[in-house]
Amino acid sequence: MSQREAERAAKLQYLEDREEEANYETQAINDSLDRLRNVLQDTLSVDDTISFDSLRVHEKPPTLSISKSVLNGSEAPKLENFRAQVAQPSGLAKLIPGAKSRYANALTDADSRYEVAHIEWTKTERTRIAKLEDMKASHFQALSAFKNKVEQRNAEVDDFRDSYLASDPDSIIAYNSMVLERSAYPPGFPQTFSIAYTVASKQLVIEYELPTAEIVPAKIECRYVKTRDLIEAKVRKAAEIKEIYQDVIAALALRTIHEVFEADQAACIETCCFNGYVRTVDPATGVDIQPHLISVRTTKERFTQINLARVDKTSCLRNLGAQVSRHASESQPIKPIVEFDMADARFIDQADMVSGLNSVPNLMDLTPGEFEHLVANLFGKMGLDSKLTRSSRDGGVDCVAYDSRPILGGKVVIQAKRYRHTVGVSAVRDLYGTMMNEGANKGILVTTSGYGPDAFNFSSDKPIELIDGGGLLFLLQEVGMQARILIQDDD
């Protein structure tokens, strides 16, 4: 091949390599986009239920491997083998002067060599036996440690399973944390979350960190421009990035709710609330912020009727009464349906410990009148102009309050239920009826207990906020009012 032909071939190879590089980058962009498009679909073929047996030790016990030389050793030297090497004179050789003496000396030498060999063999054998015993002892220790590890792990798994099936809140939180940790997402998803569980309402609240809009590929494709010898990228339009990102956060919310409902072996979750937020920087102040972009609450009964394989995610969330940022890619915040701190029972426990149980009033011990004033005082300190109206027959209170904020404010009807049992849907319907009669913009129902799934379903598409016992204690703590809720069996 001539030099010119070689140069031409090298140039053609270079152009092919650059074209291939551009195609590779385009394929990587498409693959990344496909993974984002399938965030919801990918979980539908996975059983999210955690088998407790999978948490046990499944590795095999340690085995003892001993070489034949260490296990069996070498054969002990035999005197007859050494003496057999000495030839005994026979025939005429016996008549040679000194033959007998030389024979005797040879036997003595053979005996000496045997003694040396036997001493050396004994030393080697002692070393071998000591090594064998050490290996057996080490193996026994390793086997005992493995057995203890298995027994301890099995005991821990059994305790975890029993407490979870008994609806222990901490175990429920731990179990569902494992469910979400096992969920496999594309690269770039933080998978950072917090979980709270409200026993009275059987409500799981998930505070989940979302990826930012940067998760969406900024490029559509790459192509090689031969005339300029560069790889040129076609940039994705802002509107398309917004559409894809909205789809991603919607998929993530539906996926998370699906996973915890599907994995709910103990049937301890009747309602799930998902709050999705991002960590970003406020461009106006440069301060780190965590705005919520999506919040949805739904009951298991309602959610499991949805065919997630065929659903339109945006329509589905709208039907569930979700709050979704209209400009999620710009981190425009929304107000969560349930504030996570209000659902975190650990906060309540901490408040009790800090303030001292003896000095903190039990809300269940208050008279209806005292409870009315407590509720009115609470919302008054929160900035509402609250007015007590009339006591209801069940010990609750109707309170009309006014939010003076422009646009967002208005008339608010507040009802409080000092209940020991779960609040049903009838109380929520009553509140909604009162709102209609009063011409109120919003209704708030506060209880010392929790809510049933029908109550959440009814309120999902209405301007009604349901605050359970944990949320009430949190709000009281926020305005500096210490309280606790201890429900006696005979209350």
Quickly list DSSP for 154-172.
HHHHHHHHHHHHTT-HHHH
Tell me: do 325 and 447 sit in the same domain.
no
Average pLDDT over every residue of 100-121: 89
pLDDT number for residue 95: 62
Tell me: do 269 and 135 sit in the same domain.
no
pLDDT number for residue 94: 64
Out of 302-311, 380-389, 476-485, pick the least confident. Answer: 380-389
- Counting the structural domains of the chain, the total is 3
Residue 78 lies in a domain: yes
pLDDT number for residue 138: 94
Tell me: do 280 and 197 sit in the same domain.
yes
Q: Indicate the burial class of 186 (C-beta count within 10 angstroms; 0-12, 13-18, 19 or more).
A: middle
- Whether residue 175 is predicted with pLDDT greater than 70 in this model: the reply is yes
Tell me: do 407 and 464 sit in the same domain.
yes
Residue 421 lies in a domain: yes
Residue 53 lies in a domain: no
pLDDT number for residue 248: 97
3 state SS of 476: helix
Tell me: do 407 and 297 sit in the same domain.
no
Distance (Å) of CA 274 to CA 135, 154, 193, 478: 56, 33, 10, 23
pLDDT number for residue 93: 61
Q: Which pTM value belongs to this model?
A: 0.76
- Residues linked to residue 209 through DSSP beta bridges, in sequence order: 277
Tell me: do 132 and 158 sit in the same domain.
yes
Rounded Cα distance between 458 and 446, Å, is 16
Tell me: do 395 and 363 sit in the same domain.
yes
Residue 63 lies in a domain: no
Tell me: do 277 and 309 sit in the same domain.
yes
Task: Tell which of 165, 188, 223 closes a domain.
Answer: 165
Longest dimension (CA), the chain: 144
Average pLDDT over every residue of 411-420: 87
Most confident of 79-88, 161-170, 446-455: 161-170
- Whether residue 288 is predicted with pLDDT greater than 60 in this model: the reply is yes
Average pLDDT over every residue of 23-40: 95
- Whether residue 106 is predicted with pLDDT greater than 90 in this model: the reply is no
For residue 324, name the pLDDT band (cuts at 50, 70, 90). very high
For residue 114, name the pLDDT band (cuts at 50, 70, 90). very high
Rounded Cα distance between 468 and 194, Å, is 19
pLDDT number for residue 238: 94
pLDDT digits (tens, 9 = 90+) for 124-155: 999 999 999 999 999 999 999 999 999 999 99
Task: Tell which of 131, 148, 165 closes a domain.
Answer: 165
Nearest in space to 32 (alpha carbons), one of 43, 24, 21: 24
- Whether residue 480 is predicted with pLDDT greater than 80 in this model: the reply is yes
CATH number of the domain residue 382 falls in? 3.40.1350.10
Residue 489 lies in a domain: no
- Whether residue 359 is predicted with pLDDT greater than 70 in this model: the reply is no
Tell me: do 210 and 177 sit in the same domain.
yes
Nearest in space to 476 (alpha carbons), one of 337, 366, 336: 366
Tell me: do 133 and 189 sit in the same domain.
no
- Whether residue 395 is predicted with pLDDT greater than 60 in this model: the reply is no
Task: Tell which of 116, 149, 165 closes a domain.
Answer: 165
pLDDT number for residue 29: 94
Residue 255 lies in a domain: yes
Percentage of the chain lying above the pLDDT 70 cut: 91
DSSP for 171-236 reads HHHHHHHHHHHT----TT----EEEEEETTTTEEEEEEEPP-GGGS-SEEEEEEETTTTEEEEEEP
- Whether residue 354 is predicted with pLDDT greater than 80 in this model: the reply is no
Q: Domain span at residue 331?
A: 3-37+169-341
Tell me: do 7 and 135 sit in the same domain.
no
pLDDT number for residue 407: 60
Residue 443 lies in a domain: yes
423 φψ region: left (φ > 0), alpha (ψ -120 to 50), beta (else): beta
Tell me: do 331 and 460 sit in the same domain.
no
CA angle at 200 for the pair 198 and 206, rounded to the nearest 5°: 20
For residue 410, name the pLDDT band (cuts at 50, 70, 90). confident
How much is the mean pLDDT over the chain?
Answer: 87
For residue 346, name the pLDDT band (cuts at 50, 70, 90). very low
Residue 62 lies in a domain: no
CA angle at 267 for the pair 174 and 253, rounded to the nearest 5°: 65
- CB burial string 106-134: b at 16+ within 10 A, e below: eeeebeeebeebeeeeeeeeeebeeeeee
- Whether residue 79 is predicted with pLDDT greater than 70 in this model: the reply is yes
- Whether residue 405 is predicted with pLDDT greater than 60 in this model: the reply is yes
For residue 119, name the pLDDT band (cuts at 50, 70, 90). very high
For residue 356, name the pLDDT band (cuts at 50, 70, 90). very low
Distance (Å) of CA 164 to CA 176, 193, 473: 10, 20, 25
